[in-house]
A and B are shown apart, each in its own frame.
Chain A
Amino acid sequence: MNRGAVATAAGYLGTRLGQALIALWGVTTAVFFALRLSGDPARLLAPQGATAADIARLRGQLGLDVSVWHQYLNFLDGLLHGDLGYSYVQHQPALGLIAQRVPYTIDLALSALFLSVVFGVGAGMVMALNRGRWPERVLMPVVLVGQAMPAFWTGILLILLFSVTFRILPSTGYGGITSLILPAVTLASLSAATVARITRGAVLEQLGRDYVRTARSKGAGTARLVVRHLARNVSVPILTVLALEVANLLGGSVVTELIFAWPGLGQLTVQSVDGRDFPLVQAIVILAALVYIVVNLVTDLAYAFLDPRISTLGKAAGT
């Protein structure tokens, strides 16, 4: 790259980072005010039979007795200092509570992502390379079924099959690698199916290109064709769908974690929303939005490396 290109790339990165920050600010602000509309946590937290004075005092303790704008400024101030507030219910820093749960969710999400990449890309490749033959005829219905199975039903059926009927895998809780299998498979099933379809489509499109014919005519076998010629060309659409799937995995983990009583972020989310635990909900939303934004940013940058023809500058102007 010459210096001009580096400068424009840096400028693009700056623009993207600025947009990401604005998006993050927008999300936190929206969540902040939405939560304030959702009801008074002091009333929920106060024990039964608490007097109006007790509730008012509790409100003061929680910092809810000042105007909403004042609260908002306090919140932003804390945010800039890396302080996301204290949980109303558990009286601990929100960030600390999240940090306890994050490893479990990461375990689950990464195993699911791994499964969906391996099986999704693998199945997609096999289907595309064997178009119209038996591997595709077998795999395609599987993929369609996988796409139509809601995560919670898959999870319950897996429990029914492997925990209740065969008694070989634990159905709930966290304890070693065996307890990870069912939740990970549940979470991965939908995204694996989606990835498989996208991969199939991408490979089929590339197979019609001239360079594939040229490579074939020069005697390249299927393995060489896939590794040397196809891999890089199909990686862009696959990467796009994977970036979207990461967000889905984070979201889908809520239901999956509830089914398998998995002690991750999803459970914490539902609990904190139920309990009107404002600081905790805010912290979770900020974290989730941050992950999503970073994943998208990294994906956009990865495009440029995978396919130099994609001008990241052009993308900055449009959508």
Chain B
Amino acid sequence: MSGQKVTGRTGRRRGLIPAVVVVLYVLVALCAPLISPFDPNHADLVARLSGPFTTVHGHFHLLGTDALGRDVLSRAFYGSRVSIAVAAATVVVSGAFGVLVGVLAGWYRGWVGVVVMRVADIALSVPFFLLAILVVAVLGPSLANVVICLALVRWPRYTRIAYASVLETRERGFVRGAVAVGAPGRWIVTRHVLPEVLPLAVVVATLELGLMVVFEASLSFIGLGVQPPTASWGSMLSDGQNYVASAWWLVTFPGLALFGLVLAVNLLGDTVRDRLDPTRSVSRKPFRRRGPGRGGRAPGWLRPGGTTGPTAPTSTAPTSTAPIPTAPSGTSQEA
């Protein structure tokens, strides 16, 4: 299964359409004020609950209006801002934190690793929704708090992946080699370990993205997300649920918008996983480990008079003068 052409004709095309759709959603979110026909919060009680394709005193409502006479299309446009902003922010925050903590745990092991992984286990052992509700209840519902709460719930996913990957990577030849040459820990982690971890983290992140869109909508749906006047797909659906018997458009269109975004993001996530997953052979490495930078010169900590490295080399220099200057040429590079 692994040997099949991942980047073949179908593979390339498979990622294209979802990518275009996601870009469209992002464009709509960015341009919401320009393309919305009406103010999303403007209530027009005369036009309340009018169906799609209706014109009420000169205003054409393509997707109808809600119980307060607000234009559904405009609200759906603005709702995309909330969904995309929250999902992206959550993935970035939880991903960055999770990877950082996971790498530290995997690199230092010992009690740091034990503590981090146990805390991650604890965070994972509470059903996410309960934790999310708790966090929002504690902090109070707002856009930033939704991000914090989702990040608090989701960071262990990245931590587990990063931890396992670091444990494996640190035993590999190029890391042991770097340690043997005397590279400082920070250098090894950023230049050698992180490039192995990041593709995995990106795979998790893209798969998480769709989930985060759903989670934000779920929180808004039960009234713990974005607060009333602001349009969000989740809150539009929860408002519309009260009129499900009379106004089908109120629950159909926001849901459709949500569904389209999640589907596109999920498909994109699958493509990204197929391309980045190290267990499948892929010709191009997306996060290529670069050679020693600065025009092939050895890194600072390896050069004899290196002042850039604030760490050990200066103290070890007096005892062993000879080996360090001769080492530089290509030692830190993995074959």
Contact = CB atoms under 8 A, between A and B. Distances in A.
B129 A38 contact: no
Nearest to B159: A319
B217 A150 contact: yes
A259 interface: yes
Given A38-B138, A255-B218, A157 B255 contact: yes
Contacts, number: 129
Contacts of A281: 134
Nearest to B262: A148
Nearest to A26: B122
Interface in B220-241: 221-222, 234, 237-238, 240-241
Nearest to A259: B241
Contact of B263 (A145, A248, A258): A145
Interface string B111-142: 00000011101100111111001110110000
A250 B1 contact: no
B117 A319 contact: yes
A254 B137 CA distance: 15
A127 to B, nearest CB: 14
Interface in A143-183: 144-145, 147-153, 156-157, 159-160, 164
Interface residues of B, number: 44
Interface residues of A, number: 53
Interface string A256-290: 00110000000001100110100001001100110
A66 B241 CA distance: 44
18 contacts: A23-B122, A26-B118, A31-B126, A38-B138, A145-B259, A147-B263, A148-B266, A149-B262, A150-B255, A153-B259, A156-B244, A159-B244, A160-B244, A160-B248, A248-B127, A255-B129, A259-B241, A318-B167
Given A248-B128, A285-B134, 11 more contacts: A22-B118, A144-B266, A145-B263, A148-B266, A153-B255, A156-B241, A205-B1, A251-B127, A255-B129, A288-B126, A292-B125
Interface of A: 19, 22-24, 26-27, 30-31, 34-35, 37-38, 144-145, 147-153, 156-157, 159-160, 164, 204-205, 208, 247-248, 250-252, 254-255, 258-259, 269-270, 273-274, 276, 281, 284-285, 288-289, 292-293, 296, 318-319
